[in-house]
Structure 1
């Protein structure tokens, strides 16, 4: 088969055009190869495997209730951010509020949430510490020792060492 010049702008002669047409028609008559499969569906029934479950990337495994609450918290945080940001932008644009007042107003709800959380935690600790009565029933000679160790550590880098003997 002769070589045909396919440079753009070059006209083919009658014989070259006829030869190119025969080549194109012959290539169309050839059967196309079967397409390569891109997926596979197993016909086996779904049966539990013997491999242990493995944690996947992304959010850690948790209960359905925890997942629902997590999604609710994310949605609430996005909503509060957009509402607070829009309000702050409008007030700042109007020149009615200075940046310090905006910062104090934004920190107020956060401080309230932290204070309520601390109150709930301290109430839980007080309830746990309320029961201090001990009853011991012994038969025979008993030697009882009670040791209480209490320490307070303050500072950024602190090391506590309680040796009780």
Structure 2
């Protein structure tokens, strides 16, 4: 379009155009991201921080129990090592066996306890139905298959 017929160029001078350009750039730069610091407290939900990922309450409890039980194995091991050093019969192999003994005993016990707990969870629940009067039970099995980009579902009996 020629400069004489362009309505924007006719209405604005070069100085007005420069001011408008600065205003547009300033609006774009400030509206894109708020750089002000976030308050330390408020109603906003928690945000995952870098580092250790967030855990459930049960996972946190199990982790704490493992940490505290592992700390409980330190004093007996240190006492055994101190006795061996004091008696001048300290052998690196024996010291290593003493330090590894609590873990070597605890790991199979914990694995067995977990296996027993999982076995109890895997048994099907007993269902007792008590009916009074004529009852019709429909025991059909439906095989459902969903596939494709547009999720075409086909149910077959």
Q: Give the TM interval when normalised to the shorter protein.
A: 0.3 to 0.5
Q: TM-score, normalised by structure 2?
A: 0.38
Q: Which has the higher helix share?
A: 2
Higher relative contact order (CA 8 A, sep 6+): 2
Q: Which has the higher strand share?
A: 2
Q: TM-score, normalised by structure 1?
A: 0.37
Bigger Rg, which one: 1
